Amino acid sequence: MGFFCLTFDLCRAISREAARKRRRVESDVFGDLSQLLPLQPSVRANLDKPSVIRLTLSYIRMHTLLKGNTSHQTH
């Protein structure tokens, strides 16, 4: 019984550490992405993850739309 408990506790600790690492990497990616948005640093500092995704999608859509309009106007 002691071996199983030790193994189970070890597996649980490894799993917790892996989850922490995934969250850390995810937070870093969201931080990098928010740095690329054309926003004031004070606004950027208060963004949550869904807001970063929403603003990034809006920025990409707007950029794509404007780029498409510009290419049609030059032809």
Pair 33, 52: CB distance under 8 Å = yes
pLDDT band at 72 (very low <50, low <70, confident <90, very high): low
- For 22-64, the pLDDT digits (tens) are 999 999 999 999 999 999 999 998 999 999 999 999 999 999 9
* Model pTM score: 0.71
Q: Which pLDDT value is given to residue 68? A: 86
The CA angle 21-26-32, to the nearest 5 degrees, is 125
Q: Which two tokens stand for residue 56?
A: 């990034």
